[in-house]
Structure 1
Amino acid sequence: MSASLAARLEGGELLHLPARVTHARRGSIRHAFVYTVDYLLLDPERVRPRAFFSRNRFNLFALHDIDHGGARGAGQGADWARRVFASAGLEGTTVALMTQPRFLGYWFCPVSFWLALRGDDLLAVIAEVNNTFGQRHSYLCHHAGFAPIRAGDELTATKVFHVSPFQDVSGKYLFRFAISPAATAIAIHQIDGAEGLIATMHGDFATATPSRLLGAALKRPGGTIRVIVLIYWNALRLKLKGAGYRPLPPPPENEVSR
């Protein structure tokens, strides 16, 4: 019998996910795009370094604990995620992170996902959302009693965080997670009356060998630098379509919505 996803990650395995990301804005001004971006899935405290990847050290790709978990720029890594899960009543799981890593020292990831895994079962997710204004907020998603989250299940959260300057902080999110040892598919549907957004990401996992990491850098040069450029490019396209700009509101008082 093959090892579970949790066991593989606790054993230090690093998984690469070339994720096909789609955004489709609904309502009075429509806008859509599709790109492939590179995510990694790992246990941050057990992942093994390799050529082109390091933890808390400069490399082509790198994971730095201060980038995740808690206040933006002063993250506490997996310890923070464990505390959030424990405060909700969930302990004794493997805590994994799915995120875009730093590229040559530069980091920005619109949304990362902390996963609470038991074997191959996904019991809870923290969606860690960053905007381009230096702010962060996280949404904790789980079923009552932490029943496993299955493909097709919908988990709901009220939108409380400013993400796009072309959308109001109102409405709600519907999250769907389908995560297996072989692949992942995540959908986030933001509903706000006639307005809204559908964002998806999906792809197949593969062991992040040095050759695979180097290949990703060559196929999609710039890593997270490329991601921030694409964000501003699409913001310009929206502005030219007539989308109204919303000023930046203060962040939510609580760092996690439960």
Structure 2
Amino acid sequence: MQNFVPAHTFHKRHGAPRRGPANAFRYSVDYVLVDLAKSHEWPSLLRHNSMGLFQIRDRDHGGVRGNGDGLDWVHMVLAARGFDFDDAQILLLTQPRMAGYLFNPVSFWLVMQEGLRVVIAEVNNTMGERHSYICHHTDLRAIEAGDTLVAQKVFHVSPFQDVAGHYEFRFDLAEGHVGVRIDFRHDVDGVVGGLVATLAGPREALSNRALLHSMLRRPLGSLRATVLIHWQAIILALKGARFFRRPEPPEDEVTGGPA
């Protein structure tokens, strides 16, 4: 199960800023859905822990940002919670490094055992920090497309959103499609706010041709996402959106679970 996912992401704020309408934007982004334990099956342009035009490195995922442990970290997190998923397939949905550069606003570890059982959402901010939210049902039954999984927000992502409220996650991992919806809602001083973010796209064969097409279509790779995030921050500032100071990150690197 190795896929290329030419996706679109959509973001829209709940509630309008002081000036102008509610902020919303949509752009295309390329992800891969891969099994790191079977990286020998990847096309030659995508490398695991070695130099290449496209790379996925363990240090970029799982644990402390820039010093991650990849799959070993996922197994450690599952074992610490008493989950018995030794026979599970663990997939990573992420943007790969392109020409050495990487910034992933969010990646997802997907624990598969007769369906999707656990998701670990790896959230990165633009200040070099990371926090992960673990999502699953109390009884660890399979996560279906219509299910909503809740996690309290504990990590600072945007200066225009408070560290308050909760996330509502939905995951749709169909045979030919990937869909993720994150609905963040909070109530600050009686004002309801937040945002909804989606990621959706078809699952195609992971091939050198698909990767090269991605590079030609979006030569900046994940650098484009960084530029767009800062551009949207400028727009929100001009619209008079409320600014929240960055708090200290949580001590625990993983939070979440059934609410």
Both proteins in one fold, TM over 0.5 = yes
Aligned-pair CA distance for 1:148: 0.1
The correspondence of residues 168-207 of structure 1 with structure 2, limited to 5 A, is 168-193=162-187, 194-207=192-205
Inter-CA distance 180–86: structure 2 relative to 1 (3 Å threshold) = farther
Q: Does 1:125 align with 2:119?
A: yes
**Structure 2 residue aligned with 1:11:** none
Question: Matched residue pairs, number?
Answer: 245
CA distance in 2, matches of 1:22, 1:43: 26
Residue pair 2:167, 2:184 contacting (<8 A) in 1 also:
yes
Q: Does 1:245 align with 2:247?
A: no
CA distance in 2, matches of 1:249, 1:59: 37
**Structure 1 residue aligned with 2:98:** 103
**Structure 2 residue aligned with 1:46:** 38
**Structure 1 residue aligned with 2:212:** 214
**Structure 2 residue aligned with 1:152:** 146
Aligned-pair CA distance for 1:27: 1.5
Residue pair 1:82, 1:95 contacting (<8 A) in 2 also:
no
Task: Report the AA paired with residue 52 of structure 1.
Answer: L
Q: Alignment RMSD, CA only?
A: 1.2
**Structure 1 residue aligned with 2:228:** 230
Residue pair 2:106, 2:122 contacting (<8 A) in 1 also:
yes
Q: 1:87-141 deviations in whole A, cap 9, x for unaligned?
A: 223222111111011110011100000010014x000100000000011000000
Task: Report the AA paired with residue 252 of structure 1.
Answer: P
Q: Does 1:66 align with 2:59?
A: yes
**Structure 2 residue aligned with 1:27:** 15
CA distance in 2, matches of 1:51, 1:83: 30
SS of the equivalent of 2:139 reads helix
Question: Unaligned 5+ residue runs, structure 2?
Answer: none
CA distance in 2, matches of 1:212, 1:157: 35
CA distance in 2, matches of 1:135, 1:238: 22
Task: Report the AA paired with residue 105 of structure 1.
Answer: G
CA distance in 2, matches of 1:166, 1:84: 31
Aligned-pair CA distance for 1:60: 2.0
Residue pair 2:43, 2:206 contacting (<8 A) in 1 also:
no
TM-score (norm 2): 0.91
Identity of aligned residues (%): 46
TM-score (norm 1): 0.92
**Structure 2 residue aligned with 1:136:** 130
Aligned-pair CA distance for 1:63: 0.2
Residue pair 1:40, 1:98 contacting (<8 A) in 2 also:
yes
